[in-house]
């Protein structure tokens, strides 16, 4: 759906189609539009400026869209958390916002461990957190599936265990194939 909004800024009429939903009130929209106008005058990349303002707005307001139980879970920064809830209840959002909240409260990214069951969920969480805190911070998080994280730990500590870091993990099918190959030889 296309929404057209007209604004008057500094004697300059501006029509905007699909103004970002993050800019809900008139003053936020005017700030976005004024920035767009000034950027256009200076021949800068308006889209980058708008995205920067929108991202800053998202980061500042990440707690606003949560209900009370979700907000309590996000704001609890003392100790581990286990989030159990039904499908579509906002678990991924709560976890990503909690990690964001931890990072914004001084917790080092390398000390955060977030385990999921699927690669899709892990990637989605990491992307959301990266949007909130930046990719340079998000890349140091210990986030992924149980298998991926523990394989990473084993590779990191492989020398301590007396193994090379380039080992291969076989599933049951690979194991059977290897045993058959050994028996044939």
Angle value at C-alpha 94, between 89 and 100, nearest 5 degrees: 160
Co-location of 146 and 99 in the same domain: yes
Residues 101 and 118 in one domain: yes
- Are 79 and 152 contained in the same domain? yes
Average pLDDT, the chain: 76
Residue 168 lies in a domain: no
Do 91 and 116 lie in a common domain? yes
**3-class state of residue 175 by DSSP:** helix
CA geometry: angle 160, 162, 165, nearest 5 deg: 80
Residue 43: domain span: 4-60
Instruction: List pLDDT tens digits, range 139-167.
Output: 999 999 999 999 999 999 999 989 898 98
Are 89 and 157 in the same domain? yes
Please give the tally of structural domains in the chain: 2
Same domain, 38 and 96: no
Is residue 22 included in any domain, yes or no?
A: yes
When comparing pLDDT for 43 and 32, which is higher?
Answer: 32
83 vs 16 pLDDT, higher one: 83
Q: Taking 90 as the threshold, does the pLDDT of residue 105 lie above it? A: no
What pLDDT is stored for residue 41 in this prediction? 54
Within this chain, do residues 46 and 109 fall inside the same structural domain, yes or no?
no
What does the pLDDT read at residue 11? 46
Say yes or no to pLDDT of 25 above 70: no
User: What's the rounded mean pLDDT across residues 170-181?
Assistant: 89
pTM: 0.58
Q: pLDDT-derived band of residue 27, with 50, 70 and 90 as boundaries?
A: low
172 located within any domain: no
Query: Does pLDDT of 108 surpass 90?
Result: yes
Same domain as 89, residue 116: yes
Asked if 49 and 78 sit in the same domain, the reply is no
Q: Is the pLDDT of residue 9 over 80?
A: no
CA distance 54 to 52: 5
Q: Which two tokens stand for residue 161?
A: 């265990």
Q: Looking at the structure, tell me whether residues 43 and 89 fall in a common domain.
A: no
Calpha distance 83→95 (Å, rounded)? 8
Tell me, yes or no, whether 84 and 154 share the same domain.
yes
pLDDT of residue 12: 44
To the nearest 10°, report the CA torsion of 27, 29, 35, 40: -140
Q: Say whether both 76 and 97 belong to one domain.
A: yes
């Amino acid at each position: 759906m296309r929404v057209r909004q007209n604004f008057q800024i500094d004697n300059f009429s501006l029509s905007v189609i699909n103004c970002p939903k993050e800019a809900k009130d008139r003053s936020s929209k005017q700030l976005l539009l004024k920035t767009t106008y000034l950027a256009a005058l200076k021949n800068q990349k308006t889209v980058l400026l708008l995205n920067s303002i929108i991202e800053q707005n998202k980061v500042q307001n990440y707690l606003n869209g949560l209900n009370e139980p979700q907000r309590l879970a996000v704001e609890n920064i003392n100790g581990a958390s286990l989030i159990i809830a039904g499908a579509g209840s906002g678990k991924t959002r709560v976890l990503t916002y909690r990690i964001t909240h931890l990072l914004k409260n001084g917790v080092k990214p390398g000390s955060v461990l977030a385990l999921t069951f699927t690669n899709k969920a892990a990637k989605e969480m990491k992307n959301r957190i990266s949007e909130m805190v930046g990719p340079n911070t998000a890349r140091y998080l210990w986030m992924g599936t149980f298998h991926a994280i523990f394989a990473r730990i084993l590779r990191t500590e492989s020398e301590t265990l007396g193994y090379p870091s380039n080992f291969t993990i076989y599933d049951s099918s690979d194991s059977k194939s290897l045993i058959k190959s050994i028996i044939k030889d």
